[in-house]
Amino acid sequence: MKNKQELFTAQDFKQHFPTDEVCLEWIKNLRYPNGILCVSDKCKKITKHHKVTGRPVYECDRCGHQVSPLANTIFHKTTTPLKIWFDAMHEMATTRTGFSAKALQRKHGMTYKTAWRMFKQIRSILDESAGIFTEEVEIDEMYMGGKRKGIRGTSLIGKSAVIGIAEREGKVASKVVTDVSRYTVVPLIQRNITKKAIIYTDESALYSNLDKYGYNHKTINHAKEEYVNGNIHTNTIEGFWSLVKRGIDGCYHAVSPKYLQSYLNEYQFRYNHRQEECPMFLSVLNQIR
């Protein structure tokens, strides 16, 4: 049995990251765990560096060459205090449903544009592969956006289609797709699921020919109000859809198709790291590099 994930409370945050300097030092140690390599012609080796007063840079004690731990990260050229960045990541990490830019704006008295951009940048580092699925796998599609309920076989104008893959007791992957057809779904399955896996889906024709591609495919007939038949169900992926929909509807209210994948990445990251002992906040911070 896996150990319960450790919490990183608001009090823990205040204790461990009280100032911008502490946050910068943490980023420096993350990016240069073995020390900073001075690339100047005089050194070209790991040397001792000291923090430059009033600037987010470190200077080589030997030759004076400077390096910024923030370069080529989401903090590059930021004018927002690092402590606020870290707080935004902490808020995002310690909730199941998300933390809105509006809430961050109210908390820190910044503009909505700045808060929104910060979360956009943070989500960009949460895009990680779930790997290849090899065991018991559930597949389902979901529709987001628009005013009408997305029903298979009806007009989906204004909606974004998403294909989801969930391994039981494992990870989940979701992908925004341009259309929901076999020509889109089957290649996606082939790229992400091995032939050793057992695939569970509903009765949709999208998946009806998976056996022809060498997959062990089992179906549950939702149209006949059948939701569980022994070990055959799609409850895992539907549970993830429920989490995403509750979060987006309740926290973000609406997400444009252009940015939907980045929001899915956020929910996937929390879901896929849920069984780790490391606090979720630290898992997010480790993505900085």
For 117-161, the pLDDT digits (tens) are 999 999 999 999 999 999 999 999 999 876 555 455 444 667 899
- Residues forming beta bridges with residue 201, ordered by sequence position: 219
Contacts of 97 (CB under 8 A, 6+ apart): 243, 246, 247, 250, 251
Q: Are the C-beta atoms of 288 and 74 separated by less than 8 Å?
A: yes
Q: Phi and psi of 36, rounded to 5°?
A: -90, 125
**Mean pLDDT in residue range 58-66:** 96
Return the structure tokens found at 142.
């979901």
The full DSSP string for 155-213 is --TT-EEEEEEEETTS-EEEEEES--SHHHHHHHHHHHB-TTSEEEEES-GGGTTGGGG
Integer Cα distance of 163 and 150 in angstroms: 14
Among the four given CATH numbers 1.20.140.70, 3.40.630.30, 3.30.450.20, 3.30.420.10, the one describing domain 136-266: 3.30.420.10
Query: What residue ranges do the domains of the chain occupy?
Result: 136-266
**Mean pLDDT in residue range 179-198:** 94
Residue 7: per-residue pLDDT: 87
Statement: residue 170 has pLDDT above 50? yes
Q: Are the C-beta atoms of 234 and 201 separated by less than 8 Å?
A: yes
Statement: residue 272 has pLDDT above 50? yes
Residue 108: per-residue pLDDT: 97
Contacts of 117 (CB under 8 A, 6+ apart): none
Averaged pLDDT of the chain: 92
Contacts of 132 (CB under 8 A, 6+ apart): 192, 193, 194
Q: Phi and psi of 141, rounded to 5°?
A: -115, 155
Q: What is the pLDDT of residues 15-56, one digit of tens each?
A: 999 999 999 999 999 999 999 999 999 999 999 999 999 999
Q: What is the pLDDT of residues 214-240, one digit of tens each?
A: 999 999 999 888 889 999 999 999 999
Residues of the chain above pLDDT 70, percent: 94
Q: What is the pLDDT of residues 8-21, one digit of tens each?
A: 999 999 999 999 99
Among 262, 229, 88, residue whose Cα is nearest residue 160: 262
Q: Are the C-beta atoms of 169 and 163 separated by less than 8 Å?
A: no
Statement: residue 259 has pLDDT above 60? yes
H or E stretch at 45: strand 45-47
Statement: residue 4 has pLDDT above 90? no
Q: How far is CA 179 from the centre of its chain?
A: 23
Integer Cα distance of 140 and 175 in angstroms: 11
pTM (predicted TM-score)? 0.90
